[in-house]
Copies of this chain bind each other. A is one copy, B any other.
């Protein structure tokens, strides 16, 4: 194979709905869409002018079969693929090891590290693509496809990707939960939530300039006991806010007063 020019997509969900049109735009042919939900599958197929794959067990016409299915379906659905497939079979998950795909297939991983919303377009240039494959040649092939969308390509092992995925939960899901808490506190105090937007942007931008530990400010890092006392009083007792406030405050305090 000289390069990946034909991609079949398995699973017509959020990731596929972002990736498939992006590939097509870069001149890659989408040779088929497979999915359990007939409506979703037909809809994505129409969108990228591709046929619907009826039988997942037959040999699929593609250089790359991209599994855009949920984490716990990767093993099951890839086990249905015929070992007569010549295509690379790659999943798109951060959390699942490459070994979830049967050894009889030419297996790999093609993981775009981004939080996909249904209704928000992705600017691909900066999305890190994490590549893994059993064969060096396939690492290069997957890397070349990723380079059509982005200029950030990382070659990571399944073990590394597992750590990355966990790190992303902290940086994305947990940080976002902190933003949820802050919005709720503002709402209670009748303050528009947009007041915190510049600070949130600044917090994110600082991480790009220096280590997060070097950016830490606030009462816990200063050891400002009086302000912490006032915050705890404001939060009240026996609620999630307070529990989380206490544990995170203690952690920041410990890190800055050792």
Is A182 within 8 A of B198, CB to CB? no
A102 beta carbon closer than 8 Å to chain B: no
B-contact bits for A165-197, CB 8 A (1 contact / 0 none): 111111111111111111101101111011111
How many copies make up the complex? 2
A interface size (C-beta, 8 A): 90
The binding surface of chain A is classed by DSSP as helix
Which residues of the other chain, B, contact A120 by a CB distance below 8 angstroms?
206, 209
A234 to B172 CA separation, bound complex (whole angstroms): 18
**A residues within 8 Å of B by Cβ?**
70-72, 95, 113-117, 120, 126-128, 130, 152, 154, 156, 159-160, 162-183, 185-186, 188-191, 193-209, 211-213, 215-221, 224, 226-227, 230-231, 234-235, 240, 243-245, 247-248, 251-252, 255
Contacts A168-B218, A176-B203 supplied; 17 other A-B pairs, CB < 8 Å: A95-B230, A114-B198, A114-B202, A115-B199, A117-B217, A163-B186, A166-B185, A166-B234, A167-B182, A167-B186, A167-B189, A169-B245, A172-B218, A173-B248, A180-B212, A200-B207, A201-B205
